[in-house]
Amino acid sequence: MPAAPAAPPPSAPAGGLPGMDISQLQNRIKKIAARHPLWAAGAAMKLVGPQAMAFLPGILADIARFEAEMETQEREKAAAEERKREEERRRETPSAPRTPAPAPESPSTGAGSKLWRFSKSVFHNTYDLLLKPIIPEGAYDKILRTGLILGIFTAMYTVFSKLGLKTIYNIPISGLLVIAVALAVYQIAPVPVGAFVRNLFLVLGGIGGFFALAMIPSPVIYVFATAYLVFYVMAIYFIYKEKKKFAIVFVFNALLFGMLFTGVYIGMVEPGSRLHSAVLGQQQVFNDAYEFFGKMWDVVWTGTRKTYFMLTGPYELGVEENVQEPLGVYLENVARTSEFISMGDVANVFGDVRSHALKTDKILWINVDCYEEGKFELQDKHGEITPRKRFNVTEGEQVPVNCNIPALNLGPGSHRIALEVTFDFQTSSYLRGYFMEQDQIRAYKRQHPEETSNPLDSFGIADKTPLAAYTGGPLFVGMGIGQQPIPLTNEAFGPTLTITIDKNWPEGELLKVNGLNITVPPGMIISKVSGRDMVKSNYCSGGGSQEYSCLLNKPEILDRLFPPDEKPVSLRKNIRVETMITDRGILMAKAPLSIRSFKLTIDYTYRIKKAQSVTVQQPKTTGGMG
């Protein structure tokens, strides 16, 4: 508690106070002076005056009232301290039987309560592990509060500075504001005002600091911003250990931060001002951070889901040919000409469509579109593509594309403009299979009972478990045929080929499969594809000494394999191809071992898109009279 100005000790009144112990009265007034110095000074003055007797009953009544008040406060303080000690004891001995709490802080039960308790335990454990060893016991509150005050000071100073306030004025203004915050935070200020100012600053301090950080010209600003956010949340947690207040401050902060992404602040500040730029800059920073982490997440997610699919199977593997050389169509250098445009202007987003090694003689048709993200259905939210909306490319070409959307169509505020490229592409894959008579495999196994023995060893074959090889591009195509060598029995049933189709690029979507060409070696035919009979169908051709191929390019079969209501096609997809042996002689070619390939070519439509943020500024309002 701070020291209050001492009241002048009342000396004995000239006429004296009959029946009164003067020194006892003086002591009582002194005690009250610590809390009510002005009253104490006045009382002292009255008691030394000639009319002391007249004032005495009133002064005594005040003294009794103040003493009762002080006694109540002392009791409350003692009770609060007792509660605090109890809480600390409970925290130190978590396994000890808990004494019933005076009042449950949160009566909520169920999943939400469990989640809260879990989050709290994670927070406490993190604190105990990381911060407790380096911060002395009891000091963390002060350190965090000090850090918070310094943060707010920096924030205010930066904001004022950016707003154009000269340093000579900025420092005292920021200083005064921060002193006010400090007083409030340290509970120096009178109770209702102090509590209000403290809460207000704790709510607004975070967003203020955020604005300040937004104005720092650094490409990794989001790192600082995120660090600040974490620090800020920690600070308010430690200041408000009581759940309800923390939750309130946290929710307020979440709302204030959340408004960063809705354009509310843009409407609040003068267009073109520094603060306006700061808000937009912050939005961009967050968008960039979102995209950056989104890309990282895409990579992590792609790997994780692949591993998951492999573990839960079936997921056939494949090796990408020529990994070093990119294959396919890429949307590169996507940017906007202006981040801020006025209502009469046009939002211009541009990029390059680059066709890397296509490895095909076919002409590749590209469709370009652009629209405001999330509003694809609205026609006026689509832009005009220049120079051409649809064009063809061959290998190694680069075509610049522009998207223009009138700002009027977009409306004021921030908008994400997506530039989208759709193209047809082809991916090929093959899997080598080694065929041997089952009797021969069994005989070999009988003679070589070792676990690792393989009949292919006797032929000097190095790669005894070949993986499917597929050409690069947007799709991954894996194939599997089971254990190698593939045994040939006396029955006509052949091996079953499993095809796995998945995304090869973290970005983009498979819009549609246009054709699937499955080829099996001579001497074999395809009997079923994912349970659909192929023998009686007219999709397949070849056979005899030629390869046997099924070209599935009609909607009646493709729609069964890739339901049309799934747009984009959900991946991964597994296709099972059942085969039959029609001519063992052709398949084996009078040799003890036959090396044959299963081939697959898939034609599909793929879509990639990249987005840019554009802000349409509201026209400056001209207010005032006349």
Q: Which of 284, 348, 594, 617 binds other proteins (CB under 8 A)?
A: 594
Q: Which of 559, 591, 619, 620 binds other proteins (CB under 8 A)?
A: 591
Q: Which residue's entry shows tokens 């002392």?
A: 74
Stretch that binds other proteins, among 7-15, 377-385, 423-431, 498-506 (CB under 8 A): 423-431
Q: Which of 287, 427, 454, 617 binds other proteins (CB under 8 A)?
A: 427
Q: What CA–CA distance (Å, rounded) separates 368 from 463?
A: 44
Q: Which of 101, 115, 188, 443 binds other proteins (CB under 8 A)?
A: 443
Residues 545-574 as x/- pattern, contact with other proteins by CB under 8 A: --x---------------------------
Tabulate helix, strand, coil % of the chain (nearest 5).
45, 25, 30
Instruction: Assess 489 for contact with other proteins (CB under 8 A).
Output: no
Q: What token pair was written down for 160?
A: 């004022």
Instruction: Assess 596 for contact with other proteins (CB under 8 A).
Output: yes
Q: Which of 8, 563, 592, 619 binds other proteins (CB under 8 A)?
A: 592
> Which residue pairs from 162-166 have beta carbons closer than 8 angstroms and sit at least 24 positions apart in sequence?
162/212, 162/215, 162/274, 162/275, 162/278, 163/273, 163/274, 163/275, 164/274
Q: What CA–CA distance (Å, rounded) separates 475 from 607?
A: 12
Instruction: Assess 599 for contact with other proteins (CB under 8 A).
Output: yes
Q: What CA–CA distance (Å, rounded) separates 524 from 594?
A: 13
Instruction: Assess 465 for contact with other proteins (CB under 8 A).
Output: no
Closest CB to other proteins among residues 2, 460: 460
Contacts of 518 (CB under 8 A, 6+ apart): 497, 499, 526, 529, 549, 550, 552, 577, 598, 599, 600
Q: How far is CA 621 from CA 265, 267, 624, in A?
A: 16, 11, 10
Residue 101, helix vs strand vs coil: coil
Instruction: Assess 327 for contact with other proteins (CB under 8 A).
Output: yes
Q: What CA–CA distance (Å, rounded) separates 389 from 479?
A: 37
Residue 488, helix vs strand vs coil: strand
Q: How far is CA 399 from CA 337, 390, 391, 474, in A?
A: 18, 11, 9, 19
Stretch that binds other proteins, among 126-134, 379-387, 400-408, 435-443 (CB under 8 A): 435-443
Q: Which of 26, 146, 386, 428 binds other proteins (CB under 8 A)?
A: 428
Instruction: Assess 322 for contact with other proteins (CB under 8 A).
Output: yes
Instruction: Assess 460 for contact with other proteins (CB under 8 A).
Output: yes
Instruction: Assess 447 for contact with other proteins (CB under 8 A).
Output: yes
Q: Which of 26, 161, 549, 597 binds other proteins (CB under 8 A)?
A: 597
Residue 549 CB, nearest distance to other proteins (Å)? 12
DSSP class of 4: P
Q: Which of residues 466-485 bind other proteins (CB under 8 A)?
A: 469, 471
Torsion angle (degrees, nearest 10) of CA 302, 308, 311, 313 = -80
Instruction: Assess 157 for contact with other proteins (CB under 8 A).
Output: no
Number of residues that bind other proteins (CB under 8 A): 39
Instruction: Assess 522 for contact with other proteins (CB under 8 A).
Output: yes
Contacting residues toward other proteins, per CB under 8 A = 321-322, 327, 358-361, 426-428, 430, 432, 437, 439-440, 443, 447, 458-462, 469, 471, 521-522, 547, 588-597, 599, 601
